Structure 1
């Protein structure tokens, strides 16, 4: 049984753990605080139009919560629940809002985990690549979106038909319930592999890693997770089996993860967002 109240190496806040005492354990306050800690690296246009030096784009490749909290403290050491100027936030993406929220929740002993999938509430007609949190409330796991301050969607209990976790998205594509081409990183992004079945398989594997407390950066690659524009028949069949397994609430998540195809290796490949070149990363 995986314990989601304890930190992973990615969510551990490190030396600044005491800084987190001032926020929570109320989920609404934790979510609100997390929404003000990150400035999305492309969601508001070019970051330099908002007062950020161009070199701060490198912050989107911060991997560990300890490094994120250290940078946030350097930028502004006030309480984490205080409103911050945009440039006092780290430059990041949906994964980072969620990682910080999960870190704060686990700090307070709340069972929380990251989920990778697709949101149907960000762009009409599309399911957009997204990361949210999942929190155990004592009765069930409910989805919490830490990125947005407010929305027409209940951000503390996002409906399951509006956010499809990796397995649900894959099964919807394969069954024909939803056209695969409606699943995208962004409707405007046409790079091969960033939409359709390749992206859905990518998120399925990323979600399995998250369920096993490996909260990876979204452009990480390892094992059988490759940057390819098409999904082979072999990979599709394996993804069918994985999606079916993850649909079972009693599935052995660790056993599913502990294979050469899905296990996160000590050395991975990641796409450096400042150079757009693949780099080798040795994980801590």
Structure 2
């Protein structure tokens, strides 16, 4: 049995609408308990759509559409429709779910929560994809009884080799992954260049702001898609000046960096422009 977690951590055991496997929960039966084994299971079911060609696979248009699956239950439906084998059986590359870093992180979080282990997906930036750059990325955190352990479930042997990774991706050293909240404060208060944060041709403080709200939402039961947009992600939403809105986002970032669960919850609940509209979650599939 997992070690009982502190109250502020235990909230990450119950499923969210996103992580709930729903009618697909039976697929989790027989899964291993060890984190390394669970990451291997996840990697055997998914293939990152933007890495596919490095594996010698060209995704079809249908496969490219897998990333629109918002709910873990839908991810599992696609996985099992493609191959009905137990989840412990790695799928051939052409019969995998073609997802992205968010999908690896949310699926692993779902499996861990189903085992009674506090887990959550975190939105931010990886430092190990390009030199002197913070790449848009998601990871999974789980509570090991003493602390939050950061896991990059996406990085399999091929990717670790291509990226020349020389650290433990099952327990990322501090600073390898930068939560969006930390990135926001580095740029707002620490003099870091916002243009180092992003992906493809998208970069800057506006991009960090979007990931900051996604990080906040993911810590409040709403692990959204990387391209979902709402509220203060845009400059023309809400009352008050842009400076006032940025001051609010500074408060959000500090609460997340400090791990102040009460503030994380109250800010999301009470401040306009922060919470995900219910219809965006209800419409998820």
Q: TM-score, normalised by structure 1?
A: 0.86
| Cα deviations by residue, 1:142-192 (Å, 9 ceiling, x for unpaired) | 10111111332311111221111111111111223532111112xxx22xx
Residue matched to 1:235: 245
Residue matched to 1:55: 62
Q: 1:114 aligns with which of 104, 112, 121?
A: 121
Q: 2:223 aligns with which of 202, 215, 228?
A: 215
Structure 1 residue 260: Cα displacement: 2.2
| Cα deviations by residue, 1:60-98 (Å, 9 ceiling, x for unpaired) | 100101111011011111121222111211111110011
Correspondence list, 1:123-134, <5 A:
123-134=130-141
Q: Would you say 1:92 and 2:132 are equivalent positions?
A: no
Q: Would you say 1:263 and 2:264 are equivalent positions?
A: no
Instruction: Give distance in 2, aligned partners of 1:6 and 1:158.
Output: 24
Per the alignment, do residues 15 and 227 of structure 1 end up closer, same or farther by CA in structure 2, a change over 3 Å counting? farther
Count, aligned residues: 264
Instruction: Note if contact 2:71-2:284 (Cα within 8 Å) is conserved in structure 1.
Output: no
Residue matched to 1:184: 198
Give the helix-richer structure, 1 or 2. Answer: 2
Instruction: Give distance in 2, aligned partners of 1:29 and 1:206.
Output: 28
Structure 1 residue 111: Cα displacement: 0.6
Q: Would you say 1:247 and 2:257 are equivalent positions?
A: yes
Residue matched to 1:12: 20
Q: 2:232 aligns with which of 224, 232, 235?
A: 224
Correspondence list, 1:158-169, <5 A:
158-169=172-183
Instruction: Note if contact 2:198-2:207 (Cα within 8 Å) is conserved in structure 1.
Output: yes
| Cα deviations by residue, 1:43-74 (Å, 9 ceiling, x for unpaired) | 33499x72532232211100101111011011
Instruction: Note if contact 2:235-2:242 (Cα within 8 Å) is conserved in structure 1.
Output: no
Instruction: Give distance in 2, aligned partners of 1:3 and 1:25.
Output: 20
Correspondence list, 1:20-59, <5 A:
20-45=28-53, 50-59=57-66
Moved more, 162-171 or 237-246: 237-246
Residue matched to 1:148: 155
Instruction: Give distance in 2, aligned partners of 1:53 and 1:44.
Output: 11
Instruction: Note if contact 2:52-2:59 (Cα within 8 Å) is conserved in structure 1.
Output: no
Instruction: Give distance in 1, aligned partners of 2:46 and 2:132.
Output: 26
